[in-house]
Amino acid sequence: MITAQQMFENALRVRDRAYAPYSHFAVGAAVLSSGGNIYCGCNVENASYPCGTCAEAGAIAAMVAAGERQIEAVLVLADSPCILPCGNCLQKIAEFGSAETVIYSADLKQIVKTQKLGDILPQSFSAGDM
């Protein structure tokens, strides 16, 4: 049984690998899949700024590459009072999650907030809208 603390430890570790020479804002993310696995990601910036990717995007890509497609929880971690996934990442999480998907915000010491995706992104575009 994966705990939020295990997600925190994984996100803290992968944050050390962030490539953030432009913003100097390192982010780590851990995704818990329905298969009970943790997938991690860090932000990877680029000299062409819009080409950079968020930590959550890396973690979600790792989950999909491993053959999983259902997100139970996401933990995003940075040296910030209460970081939340950006709008783009909320949409990415929604693709593989549900209103019940848990979103943990963490600083470098602990989880500081626990919310559900449905609270943060109550409405969004989805496959059903096409």
Decide whether 36 or 82 has the Cβ nearer to ligand THU.
Answer: 82
Per CB under 6 A, the list member of 2, 4, 20, 61 interacting with ligand THU is 20
| Residues linked to residue 29 through DSSP beta bridges, in sequence order | 41, 76
Enumerate residues 55-114 that contact ligand THU by CB under 6 A.
Answer: 55-56, 76, 85-86, 89
Name which of 117, 24, 35 is nearest 15 in CA terms.
24
The verdict on whether 9 is a catalytic residue reads no
Binding span for ligand THU by CB under 6 A among 1-9, 49-57, 59-67, 104-112: 49-57
How many residues bind to ligand THU according to rule CB under 6 A? Answer: 14
Q: Of these residues, 9, 45, 56, 95, which one is catalytic?
A: 56
| Minimum CB distance to ligand THU, residue 85 (Å) | 4
Active-site residue numbers? 56
**Which residues of this protein are in contact with ligand THU, per CB under 6 A?**
20, 23, 25, 27, 43, 45, 52, 54-56, 76, 85-86, 89
